[in-house]
């Protein structure tokens, strides 16, 4: 057990360092603080403008989009992380070596995700901090404690979702457009800026199949201190996340097979 | 034929070929802005805003988010990519102007990005039934061309800056979202605090998008706002161009002096 934990920790640190080896603290601040700030500010200003036109108080809408975006920024880690660790191994020419080792592949995926989970949670709290300090968001102590649990479980569950698409990075030359499209689709389907109930019924099924939808709903309930439905939402989120993780590992294996068969593992 | 024109045309064509080789980028240019438009429209509807108030902001804002993403993804990194592929030294050695070649590539990316504008316009008008009727089609086309050109020249500044330091890559990620706010892509800049507005006014995209919206919503021929927008776009584009030329010359000088043309 200890050996496995050590492996997970070591691989996680190693992956993260490899990904951000040449990033220095000022750049990290720009990426981690600047990007989420302007993202959430965009939607806060839209809410503000919309509410001003209709003569309403914008605060409830601002709270809505801040909480949604807080959870959403973790997808930068949960979607991009799994996809880029496949892509980067390929680009650096280490993918063949990795695939020829007898290492437990799902465990390796978990290990590589470990630091992204920590970073994703950090991102969520950065946006919530913006919300509290700049956009008038109010949270009780109990609500904040719930938020820690929600953030942790949402990021873990979304790693399964990210893994599902990481196999595509094995098969396609450029994962960037796929990631970009997935990020936009996640924002649309998960109710980041509007209630999922506004979507047509058929699209709501897709929303329910993405773990983040349940996490965002739980986080909004934590802010307005309606705690009773939260455990059920988190349970749903975890179940969907676990199913996606299993499916993701299978899909990754399938694309690995496909890439080997067509000789596209390393060459495009 | 003018050698600058040849390198501009070759840059344009080479970028088109590059984009055609990776069909995913085409899908991306089509799909992502539509999703952005849907997200913003749903938020406006959630707040209860009338579609009259947000239609032109969402349609052209989301559309030009696609163009902006293309300029950043391809254009901003155009000179840097030559370096990564090991072709930058060869480009420097040939009598072809790398500056105009890069400009051709960026112009091509921005022009391809017009797919995004067309996609959002079609979805907005025919699927979401947004009240959009182009009142001045001629000047609408002029304003589209103007926006493409000014974004391309801005991309040229970024391309040169990218050569100075790879840290610009992180700022590009930031700029992608920063422009949404500062350029007033999805809402009027009057929403921004007073002290932020001068930054918005220094961006030609702010004026260019205003020109697009004016040409859609009224008879732009008789609108002083449109001509003011056009004048500001022309002036700021000229300023960006001068900055790009100065930066490019400086980079060329230090690259040769330090022998770091292909060293990252």
Domains of chain A: which residue ranges?
A: 2-261
DSSP, collapsed to helix, strand or coil, labels residue A55 as coil
The span from the CA of A234 to the CA of A240, in Å, is 10
Q: How far is B29 from chain A (nearest CA, A)?
A: 9
pLDDT in tens, A85-124: 777 777 777 777 777 777 776 677 777 777 788 888 999 9
What's the complex ipTM?
0.88
Within 8 A of A54 by CB-CB distance, chain B residues are: 47-49
**Considering only A130-139, B75-84, B115-124, B214-223, which range has the smallest mean pLDDT?**
B75-84
Q: Which residues contact B167 (CB under 8 A, 6 or more apart)?
A: A27
Other CB atoms within 10 Å distance of the CB of residue A3: 7
pLDDT at A266 (0 to 100): 60
Q: Return the minimum-mean-pLDDT range out of B108-122, B166-180, B219-233.
A: B166-180
For residue B32, the model assigns a pLDDT of 84
Backbone angles phi, psi at B219, to 5 degrees: -75, 100
What burial letters (b/e) apply to A24-47, b meaning 16+ CB within 10 Å? eeebeebbbebbbbbbbbbbbbbb
Residue A5 banded pLDDT, cuts 50, 70, 90: confident
Cβ(A72)–Cβ(A242) under 8 Å?
A: no
Q: Is B107 on the interface with A (CB under 8 A)?
A: no
* Cβ atoms of residues A123 and A73 within 8 Å: yes
Query: Per-residue DSSP letters for A160-208?
Result: HHHHHHHTHHHHSS--HHHHHHHHHHHHHHTTSSS-GGGS-HHHHHHHH
Q: Is B20 near chain A, with CB under 8 Å?
A: no
Q: How far lies A4's CA from each of A105, A108, B9, B107, in Å?
A: 13, 10, 57, 52
CB-CB neighbors (< 8 A) of B50 in chain A: 53
Residues of B with CB below 8 A from A56's CB?
A: 47-48
User: Model confidence over B196-208: pLDDT tens digits?
Assistant: 899 999 999 999 9
Is A103 in a helix, a strand, or coil?
Answer: coil
How far apart (Å, rounded) are the C-alpha atoms in residues A252 and B104?
39
| Helix (H) or strand (E) run with residue B100 in it | helix B98-112
Q: B residues 23-52 near A, CB within 8 Å?
A: 24-25, 27-28, 31-32, 35-36, 38-40, 42-50
**Closest chain A CA to residue B54:** A50
The residue of B39, B41, B62, B120 whose CB has the most chain A CBs within 10 angstroms, and thus the best one to mutate to test that interface, is B39
pLDDT of the residue at B168: 66
- B170 contacts in chain A (CB < 8 Å): 23, 27, 30-31
Q: Decide if pLDDT at B29 tops 60.
A: yes
Q: Taking CB atoms and an 8 Å limit, are A184 and B35 in contact across chains?
A: yes
Token digits for A215?
Answer: 């996490």
Are A38 and B181 in contact (CB < 8 Å)?
A: yes
Q: For residue A268, name the pLDDT band (cuts at 50, 70, 90).
A: very low
Q: Is the confidence at residue B190, as pLDDT, over 70? A: yes
Interface of A with B in 192-211 (CB under 8 A): 192-195, 198-199
Q: How much is the pLDDT for B75?
A: 67
A173: contact with B, CB 8 A cutoff: yes
Q: Give the count of alpha carbons within 13 A of B114, CB side only.
A: 14
In terms of CA atoms, which chain A residue is nearest residue B188? A49
- Model confidence at A235, pLDDT cuts 50, 70, 90, reads very high
Is the distance from CB of B256 to CB of B89 less than 8 angstroms? Answer: no
Indicate yes or no: CB of B46 within 8 angstroms of CB of A172.
Answer: no
Q: Where are the domains of chain B?
A: 3-258
């Amino acid at each position: 057990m200890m050996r496995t934990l050590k492996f997970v920790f070591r691989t996680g640190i190693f992956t993260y360092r490899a990904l951000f080896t040449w990033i220095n603290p000022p750049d990290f601040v720009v990426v981690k603080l600047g990007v989420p700030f302007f993202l959430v500010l965009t939607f806060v200003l839209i809410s503000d403008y919309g509410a001003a036109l209709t003569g309403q108080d914008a605060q409830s809408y601002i709270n809505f989009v801040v909480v949604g975006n807080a959870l959403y920024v973790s997808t930068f880690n949960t979607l991009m992380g799994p996809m880029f660790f496949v892509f980067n191994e390929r680009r650096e020419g280490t993918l063949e070596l990795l695939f020829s080792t007898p290492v437990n592949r799902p465990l390796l995926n978990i290990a590589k995700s470990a630091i992204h989970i920590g970073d994703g949670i950090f991102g969520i709290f950065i946006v919530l901090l913006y919300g509290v300090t700049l956009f008038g968001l109010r949270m009780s102590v109990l609500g904040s404690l719930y938020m820690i649990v929600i953030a942790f479980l949402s990021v873990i569950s979304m790693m399964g979702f990210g893994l599902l698409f990481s196999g595509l990075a094995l098969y396609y030359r450029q994962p960037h457009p796929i990631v970009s499209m997935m990020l936009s689709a996640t924002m649309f389907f998960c109710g980041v800026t509007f209630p999922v109930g506004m979507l047509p019924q058929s699209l709501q099924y897709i929303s329910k199949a993405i773990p983040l939808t349940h996490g965002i709903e739980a986080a909004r309930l934590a802010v307005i201190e309606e705690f009773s439905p939260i455990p059920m939402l988190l349970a749903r989120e975890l179940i969907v996340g676990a199913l996606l993780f299993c499916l993701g590992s299978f899909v990754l294996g399938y694309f690995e097979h496909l890439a080997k068969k067509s000789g596209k593992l390393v060459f495009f | 034929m003018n050698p600058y024109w040849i390198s501009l045309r070759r840059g344009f064509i080479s970028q088109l070929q590059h984009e055609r080789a990776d069909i995913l980028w085409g899908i991306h240019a089509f799909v992502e802005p539509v999703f952005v438009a849907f997200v913003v429209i749903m938020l406006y509807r959630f707040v209860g805003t009338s579609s009259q108030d947000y239609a032109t902001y969402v349609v052209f804002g989301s559309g030009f988010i696609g163009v902006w993403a293309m300029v950043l993804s391809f254009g901003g990194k155009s000179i840097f990519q030559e370096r990564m592929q090991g072709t930058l030294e060869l480009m420097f050695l040939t009598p072809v102007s790398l500056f105009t070649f890069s400009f051709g590539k960026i112009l091509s990316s921005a022009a391809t990005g017009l797919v995004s504008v067309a996609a959002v316009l079609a979805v907005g008008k025919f699927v979401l039934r947004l009240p959009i009727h182009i009142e001045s089609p001629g000047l609408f086309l002029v304003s589209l061309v103007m926006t493409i050109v000014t974004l391309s020249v801005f991309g040229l500044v970024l391309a040169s800056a990218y050569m100075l330091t790879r840290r610009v890559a992180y700022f590009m990620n930031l700029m992608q979202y920063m422009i949404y706010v500062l350029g007033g892509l999805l809402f009027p800049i009057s929403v921004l605090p007073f002290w932020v507005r001068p930054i918005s006014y220094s961006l030609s995209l702010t004026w260019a998008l205003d020109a697009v919206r004016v040409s859609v919503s009224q008879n732009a021929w008789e609108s002083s706002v449109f001509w003011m927008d056009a004048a500001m776009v022309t002036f700021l584009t000229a300023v960006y161009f001068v900055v790009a030329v100065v930066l490019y010359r400086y980079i060329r000088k230090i690259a040769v002096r330090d022998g770091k043309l292909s060293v990252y």
